[in-house]
Structure 1
Amino acid sequence: MAYGAGHSKKSGQLLCAGFGLKYEFIEAHASTWPVKRMCSVLGVSTSGYYQFRKRLRLNGRCEASPRLLTEIRTIHAEMKERYGSPRMHAELQARGYKCCRNTVAKVMKTAGIRASMPRRFVRTTDSNHSLPVAGNELNRRFDSADAPDRLWTADITYIPTKEGWLYLAVVEDLYSRRIVGRSMDRTMESRLVVDALAMAVETRYPAEGLLAHSDRGSQYASEHYQRLLEKKGIRCSMSCRADCWDNAPMESFFASLKKELCHRMEYKTREEAKRSIFEYIEVFYNRIRRHSSLGYVSPDQYERAVKVA
Structure 2
Amino acid sequence: MKKYSQERKDMILQLVATGKPVAEISREYGIAEQTIYKWKKSNTPVTGSSLTPAQIKQMEKEMTRLRQENEILKKANGYIHEVNLYSKILFIENESNEYPTRMLLRVMEVAPSTYYKELKHTPSQRELENERIDKAILSIYTDSKKRYGAWKIHHQLIEQGFDLSIKRVQKRMRLLGIHSITVKKYHPTKASKERVEERTNLLNQDFSTTSINQKWAADITYISTAKDGWTYLASVIDLYSKKIIGYTYAKQMTTEIVMNALESAIQNQQPTDGLIIQTDLGSQYTSSDFEEAMRTNKITHSYSRKGTPYDNSCIESFHAALKKEEVYQTTYHSYEEAKLELFQYIEGWYNRKRIHGAIGYLTPQQAEDQARQHAQ
Per the normalisation by structure 2, the TM-score is 0.64
CA distance in structure 2 between the partners assigned to 1:134 and 1:270 by the alignment = 34
Where 1:158 maps in the other structure, the secondary structure is strand
Residues 203-261 of structure 1, C-alpha deviation per residue, up to 9 Å, x if partnerless?
11111221000111111111111110111110010111011111111121011111111
Of 127, 133, 147 in structure 1, the residue corresponding to residue 211 of structure 2 is: 147
CA distance in structure 2 between the partners assigned to 1:125 and 1:302 by the alignment = 34
- Using a 3 Å threshold, how does the CA distance of structure 1 residues 42 and 113 change in structure 2: closer, same or farther? closer
Residue number in structure 2 paired with 1:251: 316
Q: Given the alignment of the two structures, is residue 127 of structure 1 paired with residue 177 of structure 2, yes or no? A: no
Please list every run of 5 or more consecutive structure 2 residues that lacks an aligned counterpart in the other structure.
1-82, 92-115
Q: Given the alignment of the two structures, is residue 165 of structure 1 paired with residue 230 of structure 2, yes or no? A: yes
Contact between 2:231 and 2:251, CA under 8 Å: does it hold in 1? yes
CA distance in structure 2 between the partners assigned to 1:99 and 1:20 by the alignment = 21
Of 329, 334, 340 in structure 2, the residue corresponding to residue 269 of structure 1 is: 334
Bigger Rg over Cα: 1
CA distance in structure 2 between the partners assigned to 1:18 and 1:170 by the alignment = 39
Mapping for residues 71-220 of structure 1, pairs under 5 Å? 71-117=136-182, 126-129=193-196, 133-142=198-207, 144-162=208-226, 163-220=228-285
Contact between 1:150 and 1:211, CA under 8 Å: does it hold in 2? yes
Which letter maps to 2:214?
R
Deviation at 1:127, TM superposition (A): 3.4
CA distance in structure 2 between the partners assigned to 1:125 and 1:158 by the alignment = 14
Deviation at 1:195, TM superposition (A): 0.8
Residues 179-198 of structure 1, C-alpha deviation per residue, up to 9 Å, x if partnerless?
11101111111111111111
Residue number in structure 2 paired with 1:282: 347
Deviation at 1:106, TM superposition (A): 2.0
Please list every run of 5 or more consecutive structure 1 residues that lacks an aligned counterpart in the other structure.
1-16, 26-39, 57-62
Where 2:285 maps in the other structure, the secondary structure is helix
Contact between 1:286 and 1:300, CA under 8 Å: does it hold in 2? yes
CA distance in structure 1 between the partners assigned to 2:183 and 2:301 by the alignment = 31
Which letter maps to 1:147?
S
- Using a 3 Å threshold, how does the CA distance of structure 1 residues 19 and 243 change in structure 2: closer, same or farther? closer
CA distance in structure 2 between the partners assigned to 1:122 and 1:157 by the alignment = 14
Larger relative contact order (CA 8 Å, sep ≥ 6): 1
Deviation at 1:85, TM superposition (A): 1.0
Which letter maps to 1:141?
D
Which letter maps to 1:308?
Q
The structure with more helix, counted as a fraction of residues: 2
Contact between 2:277 and 2:302, CA under 8 Å: does it hold in 1? yes
Q: Is the deviation greater in 117-126 or in 196-205?
A: 117-126
Contact between 2:332 and 2:338, CA under 8 Å: does it hold in 1? yes
CA distance in structure 2 between the partners assigned to 1:170 and 1:224 by the alignment = 17
Kindly tell me the number of residue pairs found equivalent between the two proteins: 267
Contact between 1:24 and 1:67, CA under 8 Å: does it hold in 2? no
Contact between 1:126 and 1:218, CA under 8 Å: does it hold in 2? no
Contact between 2:190 and 2:309, CA under 8 Å: does it hold in 1? no
Residues 75-124 of structure 1, C-alpha deviation per residue, up to 9 Å, x if partnerless?
11111111011111122222232222222122112322111146999987
Give the % identical residues. 34
Contact between 1:181 and 1:199, CA under 8 Å: does it hold in 2? yes
Contact between 1:125 and 1:216, CA under 8 Å: does it hold in 2? no
Contact between 1:124 and 1:158, CA under 8 Å: does it hold in 2? no
Deviation at 1:285, TM superposition (A): 0.7
- Using a 3 Å threshold, how does the CA distance of structure 1 residues 295 and 266 change in structure 2: closer, same or farther? same
Where 1:221 maps in the other structure, the secondary structure is coil
Which letter maps to 2:332?
Y
- Using a 3 Å threshold, how does the CA distance of structure 1 residues 190 and 125 change in structure 2: closer, same or farther? farther
Where 1:220 maps in the other structure, the secondary structure is coil
Of 287, 291, 298 in structure 2, the residue corresponding to residue 233 of structure 1 is: 298
